[in-house]
Amino acid sequence: MEGLRGPFDYSEEPPRHPCLRINAKEPFNAEPPRATLISSYVTPVDFFLKRNHGPIPVVDDINSYYVSIGGLVEKPMQMSLADIKKLPKYDVTATLQCAGNRRTAMSKTRTVRGVGWDVCALGNAIWGGAKLSDVLELVGVLKHTAITSLGGKHVEFISVDKCPEENGGPYKASIPLVQATNPAADVLLAYEMNGEVLERDHGYPLRVIVPGVIGARSVKWLDRINIIEEECQGFFMQKDYKMFPPTVDWDNIDWSTRKPQMDFPVQCAICSLEDVDIVKRGEVTLGGYALSGGGRGIERVDISVDGGKTWVEAFRYQKSNVPYISTDISSDKWAWVFFKAVVDIPGDAEIIAKAVDSSANVQPEKVELIWNLRGILNTSWHCVCVQAVP
């Protein structure tokens, strides 16, 4: 690859918005403030979660950039950005959530390893690009294929960045071929974000978007796509982003006992308040987001201002103030749902939000029960304590 290069150090990082909360500088990992996150349904690029595992790649010459598609296929090929752009373009509104979202709160009960994140390690964007299912047809893999004639069952995405966890090698991940070749799964090779050319922090010139799946599988700065027999053996598939029970810690872990996490469970968070906030007694408008994996919708968001004794249902919406209906054709299937509730806060209060998805799955009450050594998928009830002043 001549056009795109993964630097060895952090001397060529792009500029970032000063409002971001930086959780790690090198590699750069940052999230927006809570109130900023819910100020718009489509997250502005500046405020979209930055999640990296190495220095940000550099495009030296966009005209010599291409992505190689090979492995267990009949007709391996290379595609330039212009080739990709010749395919039908789709705009898919999809929320990407880092599996480590809300890790800091999980760490409070027992320390976990990983970048600390508050509740804003996610963002919702309109991704523009070609469908992976269309791209794979060009190398001879038809739509709705679960296994190729050569035995390929997974699609591996390889970046050009240099990750310490891969001993300086690139970030990589895979998804099942049957998902990649299903047009309805909306897996994209994206070159646009919110109608603009992708920014470097978000994978310029080309990245993968896998809707409904933890962010870790949406590989940025795409170098190669390989059709492979077994799932990708990279670090971030096999030794990270797996869900272990609370009984497993670093002294007794056997990574091979779990599958790489793909889909994710129902989640929500209040974003109109910080963790400890002072509010004026009386009516307070609460706002936040809810989402679930696998394209499942949000059936309900429940709010309590008395520590869980009583609950009221919040109003849900995507486009401003249009009531959200989970299975409706007007809803964005892969995107988060915002919620809003006007509540009365007579004094100091513990405010809780919990969501129910369209499969009737609920969030666990206590973080202790889903604690895991890597601190992923903290979807326990979100609590915010407020002091109420006259």
Tell me if the bond preceding 27 is cis, omega within 30° of 0: yes
As a whole number of angstroms, the longest Cα–Cα distance in the chain is 72
- At 24, the amino acid letter reads A
Residue 253 contacts a copy of itself per CB under 8 A: no
Cα end-to-end distance, the chain, whole Å: 63
Given the rule CB under 8 A, which of 66-74, 190-198, 222-230, 305-313 is the region that contacts a copy of itself?
305-313
Task: For a copy of itself, give the closer residue by CB, 299 or 332.
Answer: 299
Given the rule CB under 8 A, which of 119-127, 186-194, 218-226, 354-362 is the region that contacts a copy of itself?
354-362
Residue 229 contacts a copy of itself per CB under 8 A: no
Residue 364 contacts a copy of itself per CB under 8 A: yes
Q: SS3 breakdown of the chain: % helix, strand, coil, rounded to 5?
A: 15, 35, 50
**Residues in contact with a copy of itself, shown as a per-residue x/- string from 14 to 53 under the rule CB under 8 A:** ----------------------------------------
CA distances from 61 to 2, 3, 90, 121 (A): 7, 4, 25, 31
Residue 183 contacts a copy of itself per CB under 8 A: yes
Task: For a copy of itself, give the closer residue by CB, 277 or 315.
Answer: 315
For 325, the token pair is 């209906």
Site for a copy of itself in 56-95 (CB under 8 A): none
Given the rule CB under 8 A, which of 65-73, 79-87, 190-198, 319-327 is the region that contacts a copy of itself?
319-327
Q: DSSP secondary structure string, 110-160?
A: S---S----S--EEEEEEEEEEHHHHHHHTT--TT-SS-TT---EEEEEES
Site for a copy of itself in 153-182 (CB under 8 A): 153, 176, 178, 182
In 3D space, the residue among 16, 13, 42, 41 whose CA is nearest the CA of residue 31 turns out to be 16
Site for a copy of itself in 118-147 (CB under 8 A): 144, 146
Residue 326 contacts a copy of itself per CB under 8 A: yes
Task: For a copy of itself, give the closer residue by CB, 64 or 310.
Answer: 310
Judged by CB under 8 A, which of 35, 142, 150, 360 binds a copy of itself?
A: 360
In 3D space, the residue among 58, 198, 30, 108 whose CA is nearest the CA of residue 378 turns out to be 108
64: β partners:
none
For 235, the token pair is 């670090």
Residue 307 contacts a copy of itself per CB under 8 A: no
178: β partners:
none
Is residue 95 a contact partner of residue 334, using CB atoms and an 8 Å limit? yes
Residue 316 contacts a copy of itself per CB under 8 A: no
Given the rule CB under 8 A, which of 3-11, 36-44, 79-87, 357-365 is the region that contacts a copy of itself?
357-365
Strand, helix or coil for residue 369: helix
Judged by CB under 8 A, which of 161, 293, 305, 367 binds a copy of itself?
A: 293
Task: For a copy of itself, give the closer residue by CB, 58 or 343.
Answer: 343
Task: State the minimum distance, in angstroms, from the CB of residue 65 to a copy of itself.
Answer: 33
What does the alpha-carbon distance between residue 178 and residue 184 come to, in Å, rounded to a whole number? 11
Chain residues in the site for a copy of itself (CB under 8 A): 144, 146, 153, 176, 178, 182-184, 243, 245-247, 258-259, 261-266, 293-294, 296, 299-300, 302, 311-313, 325-327, 329, 356, 358-362, 364-366, 369-370, 377, 379
